[in-house]
Amino acid sequence: MRLSRYFLPILKENPREAEIVSHRLMLRAGMIRQQSAGIFSLLPLGLKVLGKVNTIIREEQNRAGAIEILMPTIQSADLWRESGRYDDYGKEMLRIKDRHERDMLYGPTNEEMVTDIFRSYVRSYKDLPLNLYHIQWKFRDEVRPRFGVMRGREFLMKD
């Protein structure tokens, strides 16, 4: 595709809301668009960069013998209560109820879920070592989301 036809909304001025250099550069380069506090849209260039970073991470994890899995974004509160972190996590955890009024949450991290997977399938030391990794969107209701994508409310994380 010709650059003249590419969607690349470059800004000439530094946005006032951008407090750190990386945030300013990403906005000015047309990589992201801030939708609200801590919530960003990835524009074509930003999505392309994210894809390349993901490729590098996957290649390195695979080279180290890790196996990729994908765990759900929405998680049952039961696992979090069992670990004792449901209440400890505080207001940063986005909590919801399903149609049956069961407590659910948007996963701020996946330690509880991967621990449950290991608990279900690892029966003996002979099943080890087992090196799993996971790349998924996470959600945290940050008190004061700032610093661009570095402290956003929605972000892609490798567990």
**Rounded CA separation 72/84 (Å):** 20
With a CB cutoff of 8 Å and minimum separation 6, the contacts of 45 are 8, 29, 30, 31
**Rounded CA separation 108/77 (Å):** 12
**Rounded CA separation 143/109 (Å):** 17
Contact 79, 116 (CB under 8 A): yes
Give 114-125 pLDDT, tens digit per residue: 999 999 999 999
Contact 76, 110 (CB under 8 A): no
Residue 117 is inside which H or E element, if any?
A: helix 111-121
Structure tokens that stand for 119 in this block? 């608990």
Q: For the chain, give the mean pLDDT.
A: 92
Only one residue has tokens 């990403």, namely 26
What's the CA angle centered on 37, arms 35 and 39, to 5 degrees? Answer: 50
Burial of residue 87, with CB atoms counted within 10 A of its CB: 0-12 exposed, 13-18 middle, 19 or more buried: exposed
| pLDDT by 10-residue block (mean), the chain, 159 residues | 84 84 91 91 96 98 98 96 94 95 95 94 94 94 78 89
Single-letter amino acid code for the residue at 149: V
pLDDT for the residue numbered 15: 81
pLDDT for the residue numbered 150: 77
**Rounded CA separation 159/156 (Å):** 10
